[in-house]
Structure 1
Amino acid sequence: MSTLLLSLETSSPICAVALHYLSDGRLLGQTELRLEKSHSTHLTVLIEQLIANTGHRLADLGAVAVSDGPGSYTGLRIGAAAAKGLCFALDIPLLAVGTLPALAHQVAGRTPRAADYLFCPMLDARRLEVYTALYQADAQPLLLPTNLVLDASSLAEHLAHRSVLFFGSGAAKFQALVAGNPNAVFLPDVQPTAISIGELAFTAFQRQQFQDVAYYEPFYLKEVYTTTPKSA
């Protein structure tokens, strides 16, 4: 019987997979590697090992969820390709979960008095640019995912009235710009996890919010620029 939800997180340097029960959303297991550029060689190995170590088979999968982005272009492509391949081969649904709402969900779930704060995940997009969004504790967005070039006035209208928690790989760049603002609270070492992808994907599965396996593409947020190498 297809009873498991497999979740993949490849939007960051962390390569992570998790298994949840589709019956009630309980976590069965998770594993991750914090190695730069490890996704292409390790993702399928992590999937196989986690499924085997929990006493299951690929045939037990009932759905696959993938981190939808924004984030690393290459990482998102690798995650999407693996998820689509599994869904096509097993004839099971594909679910996509935004990286930014999953990060906010992850932090809100472990924050005391979460309703007192706004939650602002920031992912590094190089230089002073970040991928960011802003959420209430109940996951309602106040700012939809966007790419933002940071300066001292960024998000000033929200920081003037509420305490905002900032976290993710791009948050440190903003910390120096708003130093001294008591409403800006920065949380270190918050990384995307496959567990939070799975938790939100479980809700999406119940609502049958499935992706088209053939045509799904990750949410890159902005165009990817490539350059032609100079000849020697």
Structure 2
Amino acid sequence: MLLLALDTATPAVTVALFDAEAGRVLAARERVDARRHGELLMPSVDAVLTEAGRRIADVGALVAGTGPGPYTGLRVGLVTAAALGAARGVPVYGVPTLDGIAHASGLREPFVVATDARRKEVYWAEYADADTRVGGPAVDRPGEIAERVADRPAVGAGTALYPEAFPGARADLPAHASAGALAAIAAQRLAAGTPLDAPRPLYLRRPDAREPAGYKAVTPPPAEASARR
């Protein structure tokens, strides 16, 4: 079965076409640009399918990174996956983005993954190895977790932003999400008969957007308008 995986929970727009039976990525695209998720995602999907010589009709399931991540970027990937899945009548699975970064690290020892949550915070999780999450995901200020994670390797862009909190940061390992890693996780779980998550976003906190309050009236209410006639 072919899996089309995509993730927009980090500054990277990443897409991969994965052959679950062969256990390998057929084609992949990654572009780091936090402001152009919506603009870059579908062209990346088209490019991946073209490179692999496949069509969207050949895809048996979709895999979407569920974050955690910033509200706007994260929902671009999830909505796109949901739309493609509905159009083709194929299932859509969710895999936490931090799990994908952990898997791509290949580490076989306890470590942490942290990505940029903005507001001087990080999204982070703890792992026993590359495929076993044992804590999180959560969102915190780096200083609040520094003592807890200081003795372990640390992976992800959030660790580079706050080196004082992550002295074990591994710059040689992946900083952002990998759609290929997400697909590999999904393929492993499907083969093992392990249930996969629904494609629901892990926001962890409320979005920055708020409904405006205190509107200024620009027209008189109906009763007042009628009295003036």
Common fold, TM-score beyond 0.5? yes
Distance in 2 (alpha carbons) for counterparts of 1:230 and 1:48: 45
Seen in structure 2, the aligned counterparts of structure 1 residues 127 and 85 have a Cα distance that, compared at 3 Å, is: closer
Instruction: Compute the displacement of 1:167 (Å).
Output: 2.2
Q: Which letter does structure 2 place at the counterpart of 1:20?
A: F
Seen in structure 2, the aligned counterparts of structure 1 residues 157 and 84 have a Cα distance that, compared at 3 Å, is: closer
Instruction: Compute the displacement of 1:172 (Å).
Output: 2.9
Seen in structure 2, the aligned counterparts of structure 1 residues 14 and 173 have a Cα distance that, compared at 3 Å, is: closer
Hey, what does 1:135 align to over in structure 2? 127
Distance in 1 (alpha carbons) for counterparts of 2:146 and 2:169: 14
Deviation string 1:73-102 (CA, Å, 9 cap, x unpaired) is 112111011101111111111111101111
Distance in 1 (alpha carbons) for counterparts of 2:11 and 2:120: 19
Deviation string 1:164-218 (CA, Å, 9 cap, x unpaired) is 111222213432246xxxxx41122622111111111112333263566xxx431
SS of equivalent residue, structure 2 residue 145 = coil
TM normalised by structure 1 equals 0.81
Matched, 1:202 2:194: no
Seen in structure 2, the aligned counterparts of structure 1 residues 83 and 229 have a Cα distance that, compared at 3 Å, is: same
Q: Which letter does structure 2 place at the counterpart of 1:192?
A: A
Q: Which letter does structure 2 place at the counterpart of 1:205?
A: L
Which of residues 159, 172, 178 in structure 2 aligns to 1:171? 159
Matched, 1:192 2:177: yes
The ranges of structure 1 where at least 4 consecutive aligned residues each deviate by more than 4 angstroms after the TM superposition are none
Seen in structure 2, the aligned counterparts of structure 1 residues 157 and 81 have a Cα distance that, compared at 3 Å, is: closer
Q: Which letter does structure 2 place at the counterpart of 1:198?
A: A
Distance in 1 (alpha carbons) for counterparts of 2:170 and 2:66: 23
Matched, 1:225 2:201: no
Which of residues 136, 154, 158 in structure 1 aligns to 2:145? 154
> Which of the two has higher C-alpha Rg?
2
Q: Is the 8 A contact 1:9 1:79 kept in 2?
A: yes
SS of equivalent residue, structure 1 residue 105 = helix
Hey, what does 1:11 align to over in structure 2? 9
Which of residues 92, 95, 117 in structure 2 aligns to 1:94? 92
Instruction: Compute the displacement of 1:140 (Å).
Output: 2.8
Hey, what does 2:72 align to over in structure 1? 74
Q: Which letter does structure 2 place at the counterpart of 1:226?
A: A
Hey, what does 1:20 align to over in structure 2? 18
Instruction: Compute the displacement of 1:229 (Å).
Output: 9.4
Matched, 1:48 2:46: yes
Distance in 2 (alpha carbons) for counterparts of 1:26 and 1:173: 32
- Identical columns (%): 28
Q: Is the 8 A contact 2:112 2:149 kept in 1?
A: no
Q: Is the 8 A contact 1:120 1:167 kept in 2?
A: yes
Q: Is the 8 A contact 1:16 1:31 kept in 2?
A: yes
